[in-house]
Amino acid sequence: MTLGDGAIDYVNLVLAVGRHDANFVDAYYGPEAWKAVAEAGEPRPLAALRTEAQRLLEGLATISDGEAIRRDYLLGQLGAVEAHIARLQGHVFSFADEAEALYQVRPPVVPEATFDAALARLDQILPGSGSVQARYQQAREKVLVPVDRVDAVFQAAIAEARERTRRHATLPTTDHFRVEYVTGKSWSAYNWYQGGGSSVIQVNLDLPIAMDRALDLAAHEGYPGHHVYNALLEQRFARPEPEGRGWVEFTVYPLFSPQSLIAEGTANFGIEVAFPGAERLAFERDVLFPLAGLDPAEAERWARVQTEMKTLAFADNEAARGYLDGQLDRAQAEAFLVKYSLRTEAQAAQRLRFIDTYRSYVINYNLGEQLVRDWVNRQGGTIEQPTRRWEVFVDLISSPRLPKGLGL
């Protein structure tokens, strides 16, 4: 077996697994003939697909020539594919075991005392009296973007994020995206990469969008987040030589794989890279708040609230851990999210529906961001060195490195 042969078999295996799980293939822009074969007839049995994954893992592990980074990428991705097939067959993973098998990291337990401390700090920040949860929701009501102004705010946010990204990353000449507004989804927004430097970014209007989320979604789904990550990988690796390297494994993106920890972690950390500290506050206060018809005087306090919400974001992991490991029933998991993520009951129920579908994937947002930030800082990309920070960040989102390769 050569790396090239293994890569072709990997792509076709991922497409075949996608017949059993509609959420598995996040993007595909390889040969249409391969997709047609995968979609023809009855789905291949899971047992046969798992055997194929194991064959590829064994074969690729014996290859000593060629590029080690390519082999390691394929081995990491295939290990996750094999684990996901096992789960589809009925194998029951613990939350931590599943996260490690799919995303190459074992999420540490965050004690409730950490969340309680963040809530205590929020108690001092939020105005009014009553519970922190109620006061948080009252403060959030003041920064919700009216539905009829969502598009104007989102377009302004993504235009600024794109301009800032273009100063540091060479994007394809075909760089393009389209925004769609949807309902009935368990997620708040999604980037569907189409190949050829093009994406469809969908925003879920079922979930009211607070001002911080407008900029978060623009940067996370677009620039320098998912759209840029996929476009740079396609440009550098998937495109045929001499433009790229002709590595066909980058024409498919299996969602439940270690690639997702890098994708989600960089998409979240990329917000901070593009809009560091006071720059984010200034842009939201001076541009986005007025566009939304909101009071700019709310911007500074809301920014302080969001700093504490970074800690409370890890409550999603602990709710998912307890729920998926059977230590919390549905009502208890929703109550945990209400208490520690400050969601309403309806928002907590929506988040648990996300966990029903995507399970341990939730770690990729918060833990992924933390691990990526730490790695970039170790490479000298600190907030005090913004140019270096961009260099390290762009190098990461245009490389095939996975969490193990980064020592995460």
Measured between alpha carbons, how far is 222 from 201 in angstroms, rounded to an integer?
A: 8
Nearest-angstrom CA–CA distance, 400 and 287: 36
Q: Are 403 and 103 in contact (CB under 8 A)?
A: yes
β-pair partners for 182: 204
351 with 341: CB under 8 angstroms?
yes
What's the rounded mean pLDDT across residues 169-176? 94
Output the pLDDT for position 185.
87
The burial of 362, by beta-carbon neighbours within 10 Å (0-12 exposed, 13-18 middle, 19 or more buried), is given as buried
How many Cβ atoms from other residues are within 10 Å of residue 55's Cβ?
15
User: Helices marked H in 234-324 — which ranges?
Assistant: 259-274, 277-283, 289-292, 299-312, 315-324
Cα–Cα distance between 191 and 200 in angstroms, integer? 6
Residue 30 carries which side chain, given as an amino acid letter? G
Average pLDDT (298-318) is 96
Backbone angles phi, psi at 101, to 5 degrees: -65, -35
CA 399, CA 404: separation in Å to the nearest integer? 14
pLDDT band at 140 (very low <50, low <70, confident <90, very high): very high
- Give domain limits for the chain: 3-92, 112-406
| CA-to-CA separations, 160 to 22, 179, 224, in angstroms, rounded | 34, 15, 11
pLDDT of residue 126 exceeding 80, the answer is yes
CA distance 80 to 82: 5
Q: How far does Cα 241 stand from its chain's mean position?
A: 29
The pLDDT value given to residue 405: 84
- Position 285 pLDDT exceeds 80: yes
Which of 350, 342, 345, 349 minimizes the C-alpha distance to 137? Answer: 342
pLDDT digits (tens, 9 = 90+) for 24-81: 999 999 999 999 999 999 999 999 999 999 999 999 999 987 789 999 999 999 999 9
Helix (H) or strand (E) holding 191, with range, is strand 189-195
Contact 87, 254 (CB under 8 A): no
Tell me the average pLDDT of the chain: 95
Cα–Cα distance, 9 to 277 (Å, whole number): 45
What does the pLDDT look like over 241-258, one tens digit per residue?
A: 888 899 999 999 999 999
CB 311 within 8 A of CB 115: yes
204 pLDDT higher than 80: yes
Find, among 249, 263, 257, 256, the residue nearest to 60 by Cα.
249
Residue 83: predicted pLDDT:
98
Peptide bond just before 224 cis, omega within 30 deg: yes
Task: State percent of the chain over pLDDT 90.
Answer: 93
